[in-house]
Structure 1
């Protein structure tokens, strides 16, 4: 018997499950769990749950359908709190700029530029559903 539970995956709510899963699949180089791939004929799907894995099949992120999702207003504390965010790291400033461009091209919105921080340069983004995430130099 294990002494502690095992964290299986992080689940993000989305009104467009496929769209958000596709954003993170492309951003992070992940793949769909077998059976969760998009329809081969290109038709829309109505799935309420999708899972992304790494190349070894380890679950990394899951997406759950919700009817509505209020957009986070962070860093404005007077509105909707972020409650959770993802931290993503890159090895250096060149990679940080490259990944910033990729995130924006994939549909992220830049919320904060803290690249002038000499100890931990970073960008904060909102994904297409409004969930915040950071990319910073580790």
Structure 2
């Protein structure tokens, strides 16, 4: 791993996680991460989906939310809703990158470093936009 976080994918909130994922899958010619494909039968209860490019690099992820105000761009009455996830090599690097981000002006919003499968921090940049630092 490099000495800096690497952009893993851009995550978008959606009230219809599958519907938005399908839009971008078709628009950009992407494919689902194995296991994220639509179910062959029964209800689709996906609340987190990842789309990948032809080289199997993550490009976009979709997070199910119950409500989402539609952005009013170009006005800032309701700003755009998205964040970036940045992958780091291990928990020690995760802690180091958190400290560095905070030195640069980030604020810690959520600490999930006790989760063994995917420890992460959610931070806000100086303007308040959230982003994640995580180990996978």
TM-score over 0.5 (shorter chain): yes
2:10 corresponds to 1:18 = no
| Aligned residues of 2:12 and 2:60 also touching (Cα < 8 A) | yes
Equivalent position of 1:63 in the other structure: 62
2:80 corresponds to 1:82 = yes
| Aligned residues of 2:51 and 2:60 also touching (Cα < 8 A) | yes
Task: Classify 1:14/1:58 alpha carbon distance in 2 versus 1 (closer, same or farther; 3 Å).
Answer: same
Q: Give, in whole Å, the separation in 2 of the partners of 1:83 and 1:21.
A: 15
Q: Give, in whole Å, the separation in 2 of the partners of 1:83 and 1:39.
A: 27
Q: Give, in whole Å, the separation in 1 of the partners of 2:18 and 2:33.
A: 13
What TM-score results when the alignment is normalised by the length of structure 1?
Answer: 0.55
> What's the CA shift for 1:83?
5.6
Gaps of 5+ in 2: 84-136
Query: Once superposed, which parts of structure 1, at least 4 consecutive aligned residues long, lie more than 2 Å away?
Result: 82-85
Gaps of 5+ in 1: 86-138
| Aligned residues of 2:30 and 2:53 also touching (Cα < 8 A) | yes
Equivalent position of 1:88 in the other structure: none
Alignment of 1:1-138 (within 5 A): 2-41=2-41, 43-77=42-76, 79-82=77-80
Equivalent position of 2:107 in the other structure: none
- Root-mean-square deviation (CA, aligned residues, Å) is 1.8
Aligned pairs, number: 83
Q: Give, in whole Å, the separation in 2 of the partners of 1:73 and 1:40.
A: 36
